[in-house]
Every structure is written in C-alpha cells, then in structure tokens.
Structure 1
Amino acid sequence: MDKLFDNRWVMRIIALFLALMLYASVNIESNSEDKQGASNAGASTTVFSDETTVTDVPVIPYFDQENLVVTGIPESVEVNLQGATASITKARQLRDFEVYADLSNLSIGTHQVRLQYKDIADDLKVSIKPSVITVTIEEKVTKDFEVGVDLLNENQLEEGYLSDKPIVSPKSIQITASEDIIEEISSVKAKVDLQGGNETINRESTITVYDREGEVIPVEVEPSVVDVTVPIKSPSRDLPFKIIREGELKEGLSISSIESETKEITVFGPEDVINKLEFIDGITVDLSKITKDTVLEVDVPLPEGVTKVTPEKVKLEINVDEQEEKVFSDQPINAVSLTDGKTVEFLEPETGEMDVTILGAPNVIKDIKESDVELYVDLTDLSDGEHEVEVKVNGPQNITWSLQKKKVKVKISSASQGVE
C-alpha cells in the first residue's frame, strides 16, 4: 500500500480526480445560484408589473372657504396606478387616497394648478388626468334674493278650483358666490305641483337659482329649502242672509232688535250654482226660547251644490223689551193679483178699510208711520162671484199686529158685466 502511494503517477491520478470533483461541485452550485437568481428575477417582474385606472376620484380644494370662492375645480379626475399588485388592489378597493388642489397660498385671480395626491403607497407610480387645472379665485359675496314660486300643472286643479297668491317662508334667502356669478342671477324659484289640488297646499320646496338665459346656476344657498303655502279656493260670492223666526215670544215681550256683526256670507262652489243664489236662507231663531236679551251662535245652512260657506256660524245679538201698541185706523185694503179684465168690490167692510194694531218694543213702534204698514188681499186665480179672502199685513221687522177681522168679503166681476 505504501508503495502504491509512493508512485508519482498514482498520486497524479488521484490529484486529477480530486480536481475534477471540486470543479464539478463548484459548477453545480454556480448553476443552482444562477437558476435561483433567474427565478427571483422572474418573480420580481410579476409583482411589479400591474396597472389600473381609478375613475371618479373627487378633487379636494384647500383654500379660505370663508372668504373666497373658487371656480374651475373639476368634480372628479382619473388616477392611473402602476406597481405592486397588492398595493394597487388596496388602493382600488378602499379608495382611501386623496387628490387635492392646494390653493392656500394663491392670490385673487386665475391660476394654473398642478393636482397632487396623498395616502398612496410609495411603491406605486401615479399619474392624474388631468394633472393641471385652471382655477379662478374670487372674493366671496353674499346677497339676499326674494323667492318666487313656479306653480306647476295649475290648469290641472280639480274642476271649479283656483289657486291664490303663494306664501313663502322665509320670504327671501341668501346666496353666496363670486360677484360675477351674483350679477348673473336673474331669479330664485321654489316649485309646487298643483295637480289634483282641491284645498290649500303646503309643501317644502328646494331652491333653484337661474341666470338670464334660464339656466340653473349651482351656488351656495341658505336656506336651501323653504316652506310654500298655496291657497286653493273655489269660485265665491258674498250674499246677504235672511233670519227665519220660529215660535213666539212670551206674551208681553217684543223684539227690540236683532243685530249681527256678520253682514254677508261667502259661498264657495261651481259658478253655475252660486250665480243663481240671491241670499242665504234658513238661519233660524226660535223665539219661544228667548226671555231676555240674548246672544246666539246660529249655524249657516249649506245651500244645495255649495261646497263651503264662510263663516259657518253667525253670532246674533237679540234684544227684547216690554211690548207696546199703536193703532192705525181706517187703513185701506189693497187688492193684488186680480186677473186682467176683472174688477173687485168690497162687500164687508164696504169701505175696504180696516183698523190695524201694531205691537212692538217702544223703540221700534215709535217711528212707524201709517204708510209703513200695508193691508192687502191676494186675489190670484179667483173667478167671478163672492169670496172670503184673508187679509194680510206687510210691515217693518220686529213688530206683530192684530186686525179687527182676519177675513173680508169681496165680489169679483168681469169688466164687461159691470158692477151691480
């Protein structure tokens, strides 16, 4: 064995073998590292090659909003992101970054401003479209404007109803904008839809601001919502009313006066109905229940076809007094409604006259004259011959009367027959 190792050729062969083994080992390790490096390089390309565009990103302006107004700021922009997939996914889903325009150090006037961003991962490349905007900075002006009302579908109210002048609360609002925009404002309107309306309409309405061309101007309005009341009414007429007296006062009493603060009743309804009315009837007072001076609230009846009356009740002040009497002697009895071509002759009394006693409160009868009281008989449709007819009395209000006789005898003849 020792001789084998003493042989130079054997040692050379062993050395060569060891050298080959060392070379092979180093070469294999180098190739492995190259492959790992290539693998890592490939992975790096995959991680840093993603790209996306985020749309509708709002632009936040920074400036003195209390004293200045800025125009030219776009509502939104597009943001292109390039870089690591994980960072892009987070930005796209959370949208937790901000695009802003820093105007805090700019003076009054027009400027070109580069948009900036923040809260985006450092490993992302960012581009904004548009990246530069043109803005105009002006001093803020506040001015009061009166609010008008646009009535929509006014011709579609229920039949017979009309709209009255709208009432707006508050009556005026404040608009804050640049002086140039303030000068462009032509009108400030609230809108109310009247379709199908048949009673007063109360609505909350947003304010719309218009320029001279009728285009809407987006401005700061305070308040932005107002209350609008639109009275809806039907055609109306004011009518007098008649008081109907039922029953009788206690014996010895008489009506001194019946007064009402209300002089007319307003009726509402279709024109063809209310135009036929001359007065309101049926406001009734039961005299049998009155023993002294009294104030009554009496319902106003609703005439047929009328939708509403105002007021719905009237207050009547009724004054009574001890009854007195006055006698008018030999009052003539008038014949009314005698058929053409006929004549009438009074048989009982032959004179065609009668005494009448007037009963009433002292303050009422003291001013009544004989000419204020009329006696008459109604001869409507009576034929020739003798008839007993009732004597009727026409006189002032708040009196009663008594007659010598309730009926008289008359004779009716045709004119051609003459009078016997």
Structure 2
Amino acid sequence: MRVLRWFAGNLGSLALAILLAVTVWAVAVTSGDPDEVRTLPDSFAVEVAHLDENLVVRGALGQSATLTLRAPQSLWAQISAERLHVVADLTGLGAGEHRVPLRLETDLHPVRLEEITPTAIAVVLEPPASQTLMVQVRLTGTPAAGFAASAPRWTPQQATVAGSESEVARVTAIVADLSVDGLRADVDREVALTAKDAAGKTIDSVSLTPATAEVTLAVEQQGGYRDVVVKAVIRGQVRSGYRLTGISVFPPLVTLFSADPAAVARLPGYVETEALDISGAQADISGSLTLRLPGDVTAVGEPVIFVQVGVAAIEDSVTVTRDVRPQGLAPGLSARLSPATVDVILSGPVPLLKALRASDVEVYVDLSDLTPGNYQLQVSYRVLLEGVQVEALLPAQIAVTISAGASPGS
C-alpha cells in the first residue's frame, strides 16, 4: 500500500522525468543527424490510385507536382525519384468532376512532406467507351522530279479507339500520315495511327488498337526521265610533292529528261561535268561546274554541280643527326655528354622536309639546378619548322657527368 501511495504521490514527477528523457534523446539524435528541408528540383507526375473499374479518367491526366521535404541529413543520399510517388486517391469517387487532394507515398522513413504544389487536382471520371473506324492513309509531299506514286495499300483496314465516353465521341477519323516527299523508291513501312476530330486535330487522350498500320506504295519513274550518276572530270596534276586525297561531288545523282525517251536510255548511266583544272594545286580546290549533256537532254532542276578536290602534301620521314647542347648549366661547372649527338627521326610533308635546315631542329638537355654528379637525363627538342614532327630520338636519354670547373674554352 505504501508503494502505491508513493507512486500516486510522485506520478507527476515520474511523467516529467520521462518527458525530459525523451526530449534529451530527441535532441541528441537530431544534433548528430540534423533535419534538412529541401525543395526537389524535379516535378513528379501525378499517379491515380483506386480508380473504379467501371470508370476512366477523361483526357490525359498529364499533371505534376513539386515537393518540399524534411529528412535527416544522412537520408538525403537515398532520396530519388523512383522512391517518391505523388498520388491522387480516387477511392469511392463516381462519375463526374472531382477535386482530389494529393499525397506523398514513399518507403523512406523518416521523410516528412513539408509542402506539395498543387495541393489538389481536378479529375473528371466517365464511363469507358470504344468505337471501330476505318483507317485512312493520307499522303503528304511530292516524289522526286520525274517520279510518281501509286495509290497506297494498307493493313489493317480498321482500328479501335478507346477512352472516356466524351473523348471517344470526338474521334471522327483514324489516320496514318505518310510523307512521299523526294521519294525515288517503293515504300513498305509501319506508320503510326492517330485519332483526329472533325477539325483534323489530333486527340492524344485515347488509345488505338492496333497503334500502327503497314503501308505499301509503289513509286515509279515516268517516261522520258532517268537518274544518272555525276562523274567529275579533273584536268591537270597537283604540284610535285602533293597528292589527291579525295573528290566529292554534289549532288552525286541527277535526273535527266528528254521528250524522246530513247535519248536518255542511250546514256551510259553517268554524265560528265565540265573539267576542273587542278594544275599546280597545293591545297583543296573546288568549283561549280556545268554538265556535258546531249542537245536533246536537259537536267531537271539546277544543272550546276559543286565539285571539291582534296589536296595534301605527301608525307615522308628523314633521319638527321644533331649535337646535344647543354642548357642551364650553373657557372663554374662543366658537363660531359655521352653520347654527344642523337639521331632525330622527323616526319612531315615532302616539300617541308626538303627545305629543312640544320638550325630548324634543336636538341638539348636541361641542366638547371643540377650539382656535380652523374645523371641519366631525357633529351628534349625544338622544331622551328611548322608542319614537321619528331617521331623519335635515338637515344632518348643520355649520360651526363657534371664536374666543378669551367668547360674548356669557356
């Protein structure tokens, strides 16, 4: 009885002690791993939950929300978009328009939602509907000059559109758009289907089954027209020591026309340009050239051809021997180099290598801050003629002996 009376008399003190202990524990935890409040830079797509199986959401939901969260500092490294979900709970909602609050769902704890924007979204629920319509293929653009496209064929002939009742009712056509612009060959491809309203606008908030149609289309060249390759005619030779690196022609193919189909049929499959003179060229050369055509044949469109010829110096290599010069040797010291010369393997354009002078290549060792002793040092070089490169030094290192006393003749 006395124990019970003691507990009764000290109940307030016990409660206060427990509260203080919890407070001290909470302060210790938060001081070691304090909370941070951050607004996430990315927005999150709103997901719906518990939608009645006899209803659908009208239109594309297409809404997103931004989140501001509070979490311990150590937990932020684990917070990612994959573990955060913004949910609109549709439990118990029937057909009609509703204002639905948003909430955060996550498996991370303790994470607390400080703010969500917007706090709620408008959702319209309707009964589902579907209808089957004929597929239409719509051609856009025009084939290449001298070509004609036949009427397209496609499968399937029908497709089913599904979605909310009001959105499905807006669909008046299911269309496959196919561009034939610039075509020179037959077409056999899968083309995406789109739902259109009476004004021709696309309705994205419904689904189509199937989502594509296979469309075939014959593209044929008309009589009197023929596609031929363009052959550039080059005259002359580049300068000695240079070579051709390539010839580009644009356009590489042209369409020719003649009122006499036999005239284009007699052509050898290519047509030549006027000559481009490259005599003595030392760099790339280009020009706009006309075509050499029979009198009764014309080129469709612009008959001028752009030709570019690549010209580069012929590369070669030479080996030269150079004395190694000491650099940076302190006063009062002498240096003995072994070997005193190295072979330098150079590469570059032949004209530059032929013009190479002894003073264009310098070879040296850096003796700065070195005291008397024996060293194995890397050989350095300078090439003063632009376009010439050093491929190797033989040897790349030399032995250097530094001694007290000036070098002879210093």
Give TM-score, length-normalised by structure 1: 0.44
Compare the two structures and name the one with the higher helix fraction.
1
Which of these two proteins has the greater Rg computed from alpha carbons?
A: 1
Give TM-score, length-normalised by structure 2: 0.45
